[in-house]
């Protein structure tokens, strides 16, 4: 039997109400050289009933006898796949029209790259494929927090050798895995056109787990692990001047949560100059203001707001409360 070009791997758990739309987005693709691997992580809803309606020979359906961690289930999907390339599709996401054609074109034109990720709104405007490697690539991983498997394409022989990490059920293990790969010299392609519709809602694992702050704690573990390495700190210091204010503010939030205040101080001069570049005036001021406030950076908030002539925000009681809350924890 001919090896398919793509294995579309769909790990799922209790998402019967969205699974059909996810699968249909694959079946509707004009590119037909693929198989679909669905691994049900012992769901307790109507997932099996939904899957029983499909008789497509390209679809392989499996069910775990016990519920395992999210990334363990990703690795199970990998073990069942037979394609040249593996594309993960989370069961609350859908492929856009002609996504497989677009991904295949990038693969054909960039034969030296083993993994491709679709760009997302947080990446800003990207008009051509970006290749992540070396110091700037490492910096961009922290800048854009790329790494979500859904919609990403991996060369099968590569990912079967470099399985996803399953570190203490860390919710951001995919992010940790990508940082490790780039740190150790691997190349990653960021595809400019969005090939996937990401579903963001209360049903997402990230939304559920973060109700008790788990996501922030897990990101904090990653930051504490990687930002003690001189190579990582040097990479970020060398390239942070290219980041937008929103990207910097988000990064500072995670640094503050990980209690890495010394690194914030090390970057202060570069951060201050980058935060106030006029060409980024279109960015969402309220989000930047809130993220900086969460980080406890009173000086940066005041300078930013004054520079943007946002006197209204400086007078808000919420800002005072944010700082009081942060300072009381120190």
271 falls in which pLDDT band (50, 70, 90)?
Answer: low
Given this model, what pLDDT does residue 229 score?
Answer: 86
Domain 6-210 has CATH 3.20.20.70: no
What is the Cα–Cα distance from 227 to 234, expressed in whole angstroms?
10
Phi, psi of 60 (to 5 degrees): -115, 130
> Across residues 286-293, what is the average pLDDT?
52
Percent of the chain at pLDDT > 70 equals 69
The pLDDT of residue 41 is above 70:
yes
Q: What residue ranges do the domains of the chain occupy?
A: 6-210, 243-328
For 202, half-sphere exposure in the C-beta direction (CA atoms, 13 angstrom radius) is 0
Closest by alpha carbon to 113, among 122, 101, 103, 99? 103
* Whole-prediction pTM: 0.79
Is pLDDT larger for residue 326 or for residue 136? 136
Q: How buried is residue 166: exposed, middle or buried, by Cβ count under 10 Å (0-12/13-18/19+)?
A: middle
- Nearby residues of 217 by Cβ (< 8 Å), 6 or more positions away: none
Highest mean pLDDT among 59-73, 131-145, 254-268, 292-306: 59-73
SS3 at position 29: coil
- Determine the pLDDT at residue 77: 95
Q: Contact 252/297 with Cβ under 8 angstroms?
A: yes
pLDDT digits 0-9 by tens, 205-260: 434 445 456 777 788 888 888 887 888 888 888 888 787 767 777 787 777 777 77
- pLDDT higher than threshold 50 for residue 200: no
């Amino acid at each position: 039997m001919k090896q398919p070009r793509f294995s579309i791997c769909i790990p799922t758990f209790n998402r019967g109400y969205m699974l059909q739309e996810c699968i249909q987005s694959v079946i509707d693709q004009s590119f037909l050289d693929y198989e679909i691997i669905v691994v049900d992580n012992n769901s307790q809803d109507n997932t099996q009933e939904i899957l029983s309606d499909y008789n497509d020979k390209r679809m392989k359906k499996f069910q775990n006898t016990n519920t395992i961690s999210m990334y363990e289930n990703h690795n199970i999907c990998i073990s069942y796949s037979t394609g040249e390339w593996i594309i993960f599709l989370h069961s609350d996401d859908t492929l856009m029209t002609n996504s497989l054609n677009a991904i295949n074109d990038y693969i054909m034109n960039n034969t030296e790259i083993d993994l491709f990720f679709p760009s997302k709104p947080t990446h800003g405007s990207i008009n051509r494929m970006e290749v992540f490697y070396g110091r700037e690539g490492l910096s961009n991983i922290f800048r854009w927090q790329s790494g979500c498997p859904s919609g990403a394409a991996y060369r099968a022989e590569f990912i079967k050798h470099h399985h996803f990490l399953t570190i203490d059920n860390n919710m951001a293990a995919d992010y940790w895995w990508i940082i490790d790969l780039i740190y150790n010299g691997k190349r990653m392609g960021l595809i400019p056109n969005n090939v996937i519709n990401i579903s963001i809602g209360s049903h997402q694992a990230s939304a559920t787990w973060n109700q008790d702050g788990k996501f922030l704690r897990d990101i904090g573990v990653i930051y504490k692990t990687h930002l003690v390495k001189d190579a990582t700190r040097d990479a970020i210091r060398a390239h942070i001047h290219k980041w937008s204010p929103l990207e910097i503010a988000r990064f500072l939030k995670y640094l503050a949560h990980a209690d890495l205040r010394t690194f914030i101080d090390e970057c202060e001069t570069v951060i201050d100059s980058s935060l106030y570049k006029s060409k980024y005036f279109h960015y969402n001021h309220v989000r930047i203001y809130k993220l900086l406030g969460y980080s406890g950076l009173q000086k940066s908030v005041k300078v930013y707001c004054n520079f943007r002539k946002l006197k209204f925000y400086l007078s808000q009681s919420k800002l005072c409360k944010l700082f009081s809350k942060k300072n009381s924890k120190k």
